[in-house]
Amino acid sequence: MKKLLFVKVSLLLFISFCTFHVSAQKPVNWTDKQLMQPSELASIIKNKTNQVTIISVGPFNTIPDAINVGMVSEEENMDKFKTQLSTLKKDAKVVVYCGCCPYEHCPNVRPAIDVLKQMKFTNFYLLNLPDNLKIDWINKGYPVTQ
């Protein structure tokens, strides 16, 4: 009886560990000050008032003037991202976005922010799309590519 209980408890702990390990996402690696609101970026695009490099690190290239490197969770696209960043000054204003899904599930924004930090960029932002690109950008009427 004790052996059966031990097996059941062990199995339960193992399943709990595996579920947590698979579904757990790293904590955010950006600050609130590094979140750019969609209205601010839309204004910059519309008025062309500020020199900014916009980079899509996800599956969509929906925002005008954005450079699409693809999903940086894929190694070849991460290499494209690093190559693109290597052409910029370290104090260049850079805005990255993904928008594929809510931040807690996104495989792209954290690696992109990590690379910006590793490459010593000092003026970078994550476009604040906590839900996804459709809800937080398109549905609000902000500019999209044709």
Only one residue has tokens 């579920």, namely: 19
Is pLDDT at 14 greater than 50 in this prediction? no
Strand runs (DSSP E) across 13-112, as ranges? 35-36, 53-56, 66-68, 94-97
CA distance 131 to 136: 7
Q: Which two tokens stand for residue 127?
A: 């476009």
Q: What is the mean pLDDT of residues 81-95?
A: 98
Is pLDDT at 50 greater than 50 in this prediction? yes
- 112-138 residue pLDDT tens: 999 999 999 999 999 999 999 999 999
